């Protein structure tokens, strides 16, 4: 079996401060129905950990065949301005119509197959596809999933800002919790001149993406300005710290989690601890051990 493998190691070079440099996403287009701005862990010198990949995409036609994931959580986060449903089926037996604003977290672990596509009745799916690395101890566990409906996400409001707490905690907002990992996902809109502050717990790193507009980010007296289609990382610190976000009519997403700092082997949507684990997973898939999507 011939494989193309990417072996990654945790970044160990010293950093001058907490904030990295802004990184502009790569344009990624497939056919006529899928357009994305793409980010991957190798664009951030290892500082995106535990994120492996983020695609900010618009999908209007079915694009991908049912496919295998393993060693990661594949997360679909639908923006509120999406139109129609995004249909999700997987080998856990789920058949879910994700509505605008919903989130679906598939912890694929040792392996799961899923299929996602816009509802054929004129859907226009505007969303993020996020791959979150799982710690080595969880890569061989059974797959499981979490569906969080938009109506169940707390919304923080203040002068010039609205922030949805999709996962984790922010201010008085208590979002859903992922059983496998400590993970926060915030989806916010800031009017020009407005400010929003997020308390980043000690040990957590943050990845911040600007979907539209312009955003100023400040932490520990460091300041960066990033524009639409770009993202930035804030490294973890020992103690809690405040991330201060100032808006230029900005739509942003903030994700935060403790870095894993573990070696991994990446083969497409499989992220395992070794090449042998990748080969075993692909052999199990070929043997039908992960089941079939019903229907």
Q: What is the pLDDT of residue 64?
A: 86
274-283 per-position pLDDT tens digit: 999 999 999 9
Domain that holds residue 52: 15-286
Is 7 part of a structural domain of the chain? no
CA–CA separation, 282 and 47 (whole Å): 28
Structure tokens at 276: 């042998």
- 275 occurs within a structural domain: yes
pLDDT above 70: residue 15:
no
Dihedral angle at the C-alpha atoms of 138, 139, 143, 144, nearest 10 degrees? 40
Interval 282-294: pLDDT, tens: 999 999 998 888 7
Is 130 within the bounds of a domain?
A: yes
How many domains are there within the chain? 1
What value does the mean pLDDT take over residues 118-147?
A: 94
Cross-strand partners of 67: 114
> In this structure, is residue 10 part of a structural domain?
no
- Provide the CB-side half-sphere exposure for 245 (13 A, CA): 35
Say if 99 falls within a structural domain.
Answer: yes
Q: Long-range CB contacts (< 8 A, 24+ apart) of 220-228?
A: 220/17, 220/18, 222/17, 222/18, 222/19, 223/19, 224/19, 224/21, 224/22, 225/22, 226/22, 227/22
pLDDT of residue 5: 58
pTM of the model: 0.93
pLDDT in tens, 187-245: 999 999 999 999 999 999 999 999 999 999 999 999 999 999 999 999 999 999 999 99
Tokens of 210: 């600007």
Residue 189 lies in a domain: yes
Query: What is the per-residue pLDDT for 194?
Result: 96
Q: Is 293 within a domain?
A: no
Q: Is residue 167 part of a domain?
A: yes
Total residue length of the chain: 295
DSSP label at 280? H
**Cis amide linkage into residue 72, ω under 30° from 0:** no
Q: Would you put residue 238 in left (φ > 0), alpha (ψ -120 to 50) or beta?
A: alpha
At residue 62, the pLDDT reads: 83
* CATH value at residue 25: 2.60.120.10
């Amino acid at each position: 079996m011939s494989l193309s493998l990417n072996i990654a190691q945790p970044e160990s070079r010293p950093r001058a401060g907490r904030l990295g440099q802004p990184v502009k996403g790569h344009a990624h287009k497939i056919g006529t129905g899928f357009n994305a701005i793409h980010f991957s862990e190798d664009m951030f010198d290892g500082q995106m950990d535990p994120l492996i990949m983020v695609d900010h995409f618009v999908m209007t036609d079915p694009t991908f065949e049912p496919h295998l994931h393993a060693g990661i959580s594949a997360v679909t986060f639908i923006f509120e301005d999406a139109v129609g449903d995004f249909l999700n089926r997987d080998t856990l037996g789920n058949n879910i119509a994700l509505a605008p604003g919903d989130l679906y977290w598939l912890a694929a672990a040792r392996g799961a197959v899923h299929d996602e596509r816009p509802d054929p009745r004129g859907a226009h799916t505007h969303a993020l596809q996020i791959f979150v690395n799982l710690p080595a101890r969880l890569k061989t566990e059974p797959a499981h999933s979490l569906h969080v409906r938009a109506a169940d996400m707390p919304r923080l409001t203040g002068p010039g800002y609205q922030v949805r707490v999709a996962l984790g905690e922010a201010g008085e907002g208590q979002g859903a919790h992922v059983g496998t990992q400590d993970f926060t996902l915030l989806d916010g809109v800031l009017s020009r001149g407005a400010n929003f502050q997020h308390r980043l717990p000690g040990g957590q790193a943050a990845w911040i993406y600007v979907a539209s507009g312009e955003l100023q980010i400040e932490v520990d007296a460091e300041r960066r300005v990033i524009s639409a289609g770009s993202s930035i990382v804030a490294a973890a610190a020992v103690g809690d710290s405040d991330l201060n976000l100032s808006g230029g009519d900005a739509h942003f997403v903030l994700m935060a989690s403790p870095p894993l700092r573990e070696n991994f082997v990446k083969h497409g949507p499989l992220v395992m601890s070794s090449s042998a684990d990748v080969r075993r997973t692909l052999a199990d898939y070929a043997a039908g051990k992960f089941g079939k999507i019903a229907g």
